[in-house]
Structures are given as structure tokens and as C-alpha cells.
């Protein structure tokens, strides 16, 4: 026989296989809960009808049984009384009344018992309905929580999918960039090797190339700067390749430029310290390194690297012009500064001389004269202004008088003349002019 029980949705239960505990609301689906609720309602209604029918049948049966018993006893007593010659009809009637009253009392008692049972059943029904409401509320809350959990799960799933796509895209991009950089490096390496091979095939040995570069630089400097002295350093001696002693057109020595040439594929950092030492020994103002390999693969035609000018061969001529111009300007400054004390003394003597005082006096007298003429012109113009102001006052007074006469004749018929009549008085105009 099947039984129906009521349990809380938060009641925990255990899985018979893995012994995992979980709330009952997580193990029962929405359809199962609704099916259980409908089955519970149907079973409850059927049990109520059966209980009511059983109670009514039992009450009726008890009443009938008790009434039959009472009637039988009464009949026996009546028979005894009749046997006694029906001595007491009053007692029989009284016994009948008592039996009837007892039966009615028993019936009332049974009826009250049935009502109490029915009230208890009604209370149980109300309790069951309250439990049903709680169960339905818990079911609704569980559904809302499931929807919220599903929404959060979908959001997290979308975020994870987006992150996975971003990581995959970044990984693919990095792999592509790495392969592209590797391929580009291989191409550049192949190009450099091809260029080096071509340079070797076209120019011959490195020593021959260096000598050719040095000779070409010497010839270029001699042709470009005929006033300068170009001194090549003999072979086998330490020092730079060329010394350019700069001279002005007048023949004055302005300074020295030291030149070093390098015809190699790769840049060597040791060239700079050696060239600086050679510059100190030669007491040169500038040091220039002409090379085919620039430091750090620089693309500029020339640059300044650690106080040394590094240039390509094709930019050596303009760089030499710039350095030579700097030496010439430095020579001019030295010449200009050589007689500074003598010039200061001459300026001091001139300021203290009578000629300087006379010139300053003449300038002051001219200023005083111009100031006096300006004041005279200002006074004359003010007199003219006062004269014209008096004339205007007389004209305005006459005009106001005429307007007053016309308004007096017209007796308010000429309102357009009010603006003229409201002109300020002559004294007010004079005060305004003075201000």
C-alpha cells in the first residue's frame, strides 16, 4: 500500500550510490514536485470523503445499536411489568422517557465527538494547505534560484568563451608575429650576406679598400680646401690617417681636424677610444671617423658618437665644411676677445670726456625745447576750446528760449520739442567740459 508523506524542501537526503548529501529541492524537478502536489491533493480529498463516510456510518450504527439495546431492555421491563399485571404503566412511560433521553444524550455526545473529529480533520486540512502553500512558495523560490543560477552560468560561460577566444587570437597573433620576425630576420641575414659577398667581389681585399678610401678622402680634402694643410700619417706609425690643419684666407692657423678611415662590414667600439687618444696627441679640436659601418646600424649620413664625429664617405665633404666653419668662427671670436680690455678703457674714457657731456647736454636741451612747445600748443588749444564752448552755450541758451516761447504759445501742442527743452544748462555743460 502506497503512503504519502510531507517533508521540507530544505530536508537533506543522501545518494544511495555515492553518499553525497543534498537538499531535497535540488534532487526533485519541477514536474515531479507538481505531480506530487496533485497526487497529494487528490489523495487528501479521497481520504477526507472516506473519513467523513466512515464517521457517519459508525455514528449511525452506534446510535442504532444503543437504541435497540435500550428498546430491548424496555421491552423486557415492560414484559416483567405486564407479568406483574401491568402494575405500573407510569413507570414504563418513565422508563421509556429516560431511555429516550439517554438515547438523545448519547446521540448528542456522539454528534459532538463527530464534530470534534471533523474540526480536528479541518485543522489537519488547514495545516496541510499551509504546508502546500509553503511547498509551492519554496518551489517558486527554487525555480527563481535555478533561473538566476542558469543566467549566471550562461554569463560565466560567455566570459570564459570570450577569454578563450582572446587567448587563442593572441596566441595565433604572437605565433604569426614570431614566424614573421623569424622569416624577416632570415631574409635580412640573407640580404646582408649577399651584400657582403657582392662588396667583396666588387672591391677586393679590405686593406686595398681602406687605402683607396684614405686616398679618396685625402684628394677630396685637398681639392675642397686649398688653404688648408692636409698631412697624411706615414704607414707604420701610430695615429690617425689624416691631419687637416685649417687656415683662414689670410693664412692664420684656426685649428686641426683629425681624420680616420675604416672600410669594414661591422662596427667596432674600440675605434672611438683610439681616435680620442690620437686627437689628444695631435691636439686637434675635432675628430672624424669615416666608415662604411655606422654604430648601431644608424641610417643618418653622419652623427656625433661619444664626442667623435662618425660619417659616411659621401657625407664627409659637408661635415668638413661645417667643422671648418666652426673653427673659423672660433678664431674670429678669439681675435675679437683679444682686445676687450683696451676697448673697455676706450669706452670709459669717452664717457668721461667733455665731448660726451656736450652731446648729452645738446640732447637734453632739445628735449626741454620740445616739452615747452608742447605745453604752449596745449594752452593755445585749451583757449580755443573755451572760446568755442562759450559760443555753444550762447547758441544753446537762445535755442532753449525759442523752444520755451513756442511751447508757451502752443500750450503743449508741440511735445516733440521737449527733448530740446530738456538740454542741460550752460553751467552744467561748462562743468562737464572742465571735467
Are the C-beta atoms of residues 222 and 275 closer than 8 Å to each other? no
Please report the DSSP string for 283-331 in residue order. Answer: T-SEEEEEESS-GGG--SSEEEETTEEEE-GGGHHHHHHHHHHHHHHHH
User: Would you say residue 1 has pLDDT above 50?
Assistant: no
User: Would you say residue 174 has pLDDT above 50?
Assistant: yes
Q: What is the pLDDT of residue 426?
A: 46
Please state whether beta strands 286-291 and 253-262 pair in parallel, antiparallel, or not at all (unpaired).
parallel
User: Would you say residue 229 has pLDDT above 80?
Assistant: yes
User: Would you say residue 16 has pLDDT above 80?
Assistant: no
CA–CA separation, 260 and 274 (whole Å): 10
Q: What is the pLDDT of residue 404?
A: 73
Q: What is the pLDDT of residue 291?
A: 86
Are the C-beta atoms of residues 421 and 397 closer than 8 Å to each other? no
User: Would you say residue 267 has pLDDT above 60?
Assistant: yes
Q: 142-157, pLDDT tens digit by residue? A: 778 878 877 877 788 7
76 SS3 class: helix
Please report the DSSP string for 27-61 in residue order. Answer: HS-HHHHHHHHHHHHHHHHHHHHHHHHHHHHHHHH
Q: 22-41, pLDDT tens digit by residue? A: 676 666 555 666 666 677 77
In terms of Cβ atoms closer than 10 Å to its own Cβ (0-12, 13-18, 19+), residue 66 is: middle
| Listed residue (201, 236, 51, 67) closest to 125, CA to CA | 51
Report the alpha-carbon angle 31-32-37, nearest 5. Answer: 100
Report which listed range, 98-107, 172-181, 199-208, is most confident. Answer: 98-107
Residue 192 CA to its chain's centroid (Å): 45
User: How confident is the model over 224-238, as a mean pLDDT?
Assistant: 77
Q: 269-278, pLDDT tens digit by residue? A: 888 888 888 8
CA–CA separation, 319 and 306 (whole Å): 17
Q: What is the mean pLDDT of the chain?
A: 76
**What CATH number labels 207-338?**
3.40.1350
Higher pLDDT, 118 or 285: 285
Cα dihedral 230, 233, 234, 240 sign:
negative
Amino acid at each position: 500500500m502506497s503512503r504519502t508523506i510531507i517533508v521540507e524542501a530544505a530536508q537533506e537526503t543522501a545518494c544511495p550510490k555515492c553518499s553525497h548529501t543534498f537538499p531535497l529541492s535540488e534532487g526533485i524537478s519541477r514536474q515531479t514536485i507538481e505531480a506530487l502536489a496533485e497526487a497529494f491533493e487528490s489523495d487528501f480529498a479521497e481520504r477526507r470523503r472516506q473519513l467523513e463516510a466512515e464517521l457517519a456510518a459508525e455514528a449511525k450504527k452506534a446510535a442504532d445499536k444503543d437504541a435497540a439495546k435500550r428498546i430491548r431492555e424496555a421491552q423486557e421491563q415492560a414484559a416483567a411489568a405486564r407479568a406483574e399485571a401491568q402494575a405500573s404503566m407510569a413507570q414504563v412511560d418513565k422508563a421509556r422517557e429516560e431511555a429516550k433521553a439517554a438515547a438523545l444524550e448519547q446521540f448528542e455526545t456522539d454528534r459532538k465527538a463527530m464534530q470534534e473529529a471533523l474540526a480536528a480533520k479541518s485543522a489537519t486540512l488547514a495545516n496541510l494547505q499551509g504546508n502546500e502553500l509553503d511547498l509551492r512558495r519554496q518551489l517558486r523560490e527554487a525555480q527563481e534560484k535555478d533561473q538566476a543560477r542558469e543566467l549566471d552560468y550562461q554569463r560565466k560561460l560567455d566570459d570564459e568563451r570570450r577569454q578563450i577566444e582572446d587567448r587563442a587570437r593572441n596566441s595565433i597573433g604572437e605565433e604569426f608575429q614570431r614566424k614573421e620576425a623569424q622569416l624577416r630576420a632570415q631574409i635580412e641575414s640573407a640580404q646582408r650576406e649577399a651584400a657582403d659577398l657582392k662588396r667583396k667581389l666588387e672591391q677586393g681585399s679590405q686593406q686595398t679598400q681602406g687605402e683607396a678610401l684614405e686616398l679618396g678622402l685625402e684628394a677630396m680634402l685637398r681639392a675642397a680646401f686649398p688653404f688648408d694643410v692636409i698631412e697624411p700619417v706615414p704607414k707604420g706609425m701610430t695615429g690617425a690617417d689624416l691631419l687637416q690643419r685649417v687656415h683662414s684666407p689670410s693664412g692664420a692657423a684656426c685649428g686641426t681636424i683629425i681624420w680616420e678611415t675604416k672600410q669594414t662590414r661591422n662596427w667596432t667600439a674600440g675605434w672611438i677610444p683610439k681616435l680620442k687618444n690620437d686627437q689628444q696627441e695631435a691636439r686637434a679640436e675635432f675628430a672624424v671617423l669615416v666608415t662604411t659601418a655606422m654604430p648601431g646600424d644608424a641610417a643618418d649620413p653622419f652623427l656625433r658618437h661619444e664626442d667623435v664625429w662618425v660619417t659616411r664617405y659621401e657625407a664627409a665633404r659637408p661635415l668638413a665644411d661645417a667643422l671648418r666653419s666652426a673653427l673659423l668662427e672660433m678664431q674670429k671670436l678669439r681675435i675679437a676677445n683679444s682686445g676687450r680690455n683696451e676697448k673697455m678703457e676706450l669706452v670709459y674714457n669717452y664717457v668721461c670726456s667733455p665731448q660726451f657731456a656736450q652731446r648729452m647736454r645738446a640732447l637734453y636741451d632739445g628735449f626741454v625745447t620740445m616739452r615747452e612747445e608742447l605745453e604752449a600748443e596745449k594752452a593755445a588749444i585749451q583757449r580755443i576750446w573755451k572760446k568755442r564752448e562759450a559760443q555753444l552755450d550762447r547758441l544753446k541758451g537762445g535755442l532753449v528760449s525759442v523752444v520755451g516761447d513756442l511751447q508757451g504759445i502752443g500750450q503743449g501742442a508741440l511735445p516733440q520739442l521737449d527733448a530740446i527743452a530738456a538740454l542741460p544748462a550752460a553751467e552744467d555743460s561748462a562743468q562737464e567740459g572742465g571735467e
